[in-house]
Structure 1
Amino acid sequence: MGHVFHKLYDIDMIFLRFFTVYGPGQRPDLAIHKFTRMIDHDLPLPFFGDGTTSRDYTYIDDIIDGVVKAIAYVETHQIYDIFNLGESTPITLSKMVQTIENHLGKKAVLNHLPMQSGDVDITYADITKARTILKYQPKMSFDQGIASFIAWYRHVKELGIYE
C-alpha cells in the first residue's frame, strides 16, 4: 500500500522494522523485564529448549537514533524503502539470562521446558542497508544495555512501581 501511495501521489516514506527493543520503561510482559522480575523474586523462570534460541535485542536509544536518521533522510530524498533497525548480533536465551543474573547479582531458578511449537531458532536484523543509506550504527552493547535496564528496574522498584 505504501508503495502504491508513493507511486501514485509522490509521497515519500520509509518503513522501519524494529528487532526486539528493550531498555528502561520496557513493558513488564516482555522477556527481559519479566525475567528480571522473576529472577529478582526467586520465581521459576520458564526456560524453553536448550537455551540456544537467539534474538536480536536492540537498545531503545539505538532505535531512537535510527528513527531520527530515517526522518532526516526522508525529508531530503525522494524515497520509498524499508529498513531493519536492530543490533545485528543475536543473543542466545542462555546468554540473556546469564547477563541479567550478573547484573542482578542473583541466580535464576530455571524451569526447563520443551521448545514451544512454532518458535524460531534465531531472528536478527540485517542492517546493511540502514548502515549504508541512513548511517545507522547501534552503539549500546547488550551488556551495557542490560546494566542500564537493571538500574532503571531497581529505581522503579524502590518507588513501588511494578512490584
Structure 2
Amino acid sequence: MKCLVTGSAGFIGYHVARALLARGDSVVGLDNVNDYYETSLKEDRLQELSRFANEQGADYTFLRGDIADRAFLDACFANHTFDRVIHLAAQAGVRHSIEQPECYVSSNLVGFANLLEACRHGQTPHLTYASTSSVYGGNTHMPFSENHSADHPLQFYAATKRANELMAHSYSHLFRLPTTGLRFFTVYGPWGRPDMALFKFTRLMLEGKPIPVFNHGHHSRDFTYIDDIVTGVIRASDQIAEADPQWNSDTPNPATSNAPYRLFNIGNGDPAQLSDYIDALEGALGIRAERELLPMQKGDIPDTHADTALLQEAVNYRPGTSVKDGVGKFVQWYRAYYRV
C-alpha cells in the first residue's frame, strides 16, 4: 500500500514509517521539523529512515512542510494517491499547552481540519489519527474505557485532541470518510521525546543531578513500549473503520457510530507506579536516583489505566513488553546515541 505518515520525524511517526517500509509499503513522510524539542534528534530520525529505506530498496519520500499550510497539504494530495493516511503530526506536550496554546490551535485544530479536507477530496480509504489518554481528564473511573465520558479535559492539549475526535466523526458522518482515533497511553522507548519523563530522568541521572518527581511519586501510568504501539497503529490502520450496525441513537456508544468511525485505547493495560518506573531506570543505568519529591503539576492526571479490550477484539492487539524490559531497551539506545 501507499501510506502517508504525518509527523514522520517525530517519535511515534518515525517508528511507524520504518515498520511500514520494513513490510514493503510505499511511504510518504511529512513533517515540519519544528523546534519544540531539539531538531537534531528529529533530523537524525529522518536520516535513519532514509538509510533504512535505501537498505531495503523501499519506496520512501519525505516532504518538509506544515499541515497548517493548506496549499502545501493540498499539493501533497494532488501529487500522491494514498491507500492509508496515518496522522501523527501534532503539537504535543501538556505543560506547553498551558503556556503557548496558540501552537495547538495551529497544528492540532487548523492542521487537522486541513487534513480532513485533503482526505475527503482525495477519497482516502482510511484515516487513522493520534488522540491521547489525556482526553479522559476529570474522569477517575479506572480503567479508562472508550465507553466512558471524555468531556472534561484538564488542559488545552487534551481539549484539542478531543476536538479532533469530534471533527473526525463529523467527516465520517457527512462524507463517509472512514476514521479511526487512537488514544495513546504514555509511549516510551528508543528515539523517544526529550520532554518525556524517561528521557529527562536518564539525562539528569547520568549528569549526577536530582530528578523532579511530581505528586511525590504517587502517579501511576499505563507505560506502553513503542513496539507494542506501532503494532497496534498499523493493525488499526489496515482494518478500515465501518459503521456499527448495533449503534443506537437513543443510547449512543461514544466509541462507535452509525458512521464509519471508531475510537480505541492503545496502551499496555498494566499500569505502574512512577516510583516503580524510576526503580527500573535505576536498575538499567546502575545509578541510584536522587529524587526531588514535588507536588502535582497543574494539568496533570493522577493516574491512567487503559482498557484495551476493544482494540484486542478488533485487531488482536496484545502488548507484551514489560516496563523493566522496555526501560532497559531505552537505556541501551540512549547510551549508544549519546555515546555515554
TM-score under structure 1 length normalisation = 0.90
Q: What SS class does the counterpart of residue 147 from structure 1 fall into?
A: helix
Whether 2:314 is the aligned partner of 1:148: answer no
Matching residue within 195, 210, 226 for 1:29: 195
CA deviations over 1:112-143 (Å, ceiling 9, x no partner): 22233443220121111001112111121111
Matched, 1:83 2:264: yes
Report what 2:240 is aligned to: 74
Q: Residues of 1 paired with 2:195 and 2:175: CA distance?
A: 40
Structure 1 stretches of 4+ with a deviation exceeding 4 A read: none
Q: Does 1:122 align with 2:303?
A: yes
The question of 1:55 aligning with 2:221 is answered: yes
Match 1:135 to one of 316, 333, 336 = 316
2:212 matched to 1:46? yes
Structure 2, unmatched stretches of 5+, are 1-166, 244-259
1:42 partner letter: G
Cα distance between partner residues in 2 of 1:115 and 1:61: 30
% of aligned pairs identical?
Answer: 41
What amino acid sits opposite 2:315 in the alignment? L
Q: How many residues align?
A: 158
Structure of larger gyration radius: 2
Which amino acid in structure 1 is aligned with residue 322 of structure 2? S
Q: TM-score, with normalisation over the residues of structure 2?
A: 0.44
**Aligned equivalents of 1:6 and 1:153: distance in 2?**
41
Contact 2:223/2:272 (8 A) holds in 1: yes
Partner AA of 2:325 in structure 1: Q
Code of the residue aligned with 1:98 in structure 2: it is D
How big is the shift at 1:48?
2.0
One-letter amino acid of the counterpart of residue 120, structure 1: I
Instruction: Indicate the RMSD between aligned Cα atoms, in angstroms.
Output: 1.6
Counterpart residue identity of residue 122, structure 1? D
Deviation at 1:74, TM superposition (A): 1.0
Aligned to 2:169: 3
Structure 1 range deviating more: 44-53 or 90-99: 44-53
The answer (yes or no) to whether the contact 2:212–2:293 under 8 Å persists in 1 is yes
Report how far residue 2 of structure 1 moved. 1.7
